Amino acid sequence: MKNGPAIAITIPLILMGMISAGCGGGGGGNGAATELTPRTLTWSIDNTYTDGSTYDPVSTLKEFEIYVRQDNNFSPTDPYVIVSAVTGGQLVTSFDLRQTYSTLSLSRGVTYYVSMRVTTVDGVHSDFSAPGPPFHF
């Protein structure tokens, strides 16, 4: 069995934009996430397995699991959002965290941390990435 991917997921810039001032709006429903300030998560992928061999990320990676918690103690049993690793033949390297707001039952004003794992087309999971800097909506 081939060793798992040594995928170094880095989160060089998690927050883009500024917290907008003004009314919090409350409102619930599906429109709540669209009223939030964008929080763009970006990452890069190391294309090396733990045995030192390399692979093609576009043909090898299936999906990213994005975990958001109030602390940085991430576990595979935590809720997460799945993002396809490849779209239109290109490796995906960013995601707007507003898309996790309703799915993961997040709240405005609460500080969160984010980490990721990747799954290969063969079902092998990477380790968790180092948590990104704290952020809030």
Of 27-36, 67-76, 80-89, 114-123, the range with the lowest mean pLDDT is 27-36
HSE-up (13 A, CA, CB side) for residue 87: 7
Domains and CATH numbers, the chain: 5-120 (2.60.40)
Q: What was the pLDDT predicted at 108?
A: 93
HSE-up (13 A, CA, CB side) for residue 122: 11
Q: What was the pLDDT predicted at 97?
A: 92
Confidence category of residue 20, pLDDT binned at 50, 70, 90: very low
Phi/psi region, residue 70 (left: phi>0; alpha: psi -120 to 50; beta: rest), is alpha
- What are the tokens at 125? 């999971």
Q: What was the pLDDT predicted at 26?
A: 42
| Enclosing H/E stretch for 85 | none
Report how far apart, in Å, the C-alpha atoms of 40 and of each of 78, 112, 122, 125 are: 21, 14, 28, 23
What pTM was computed for the model? Answer: 0.78
Q: What was the pLDDT predicted at 3?
A: 55
Mean pLDDT, range 50-79, rounded to an integer: 92
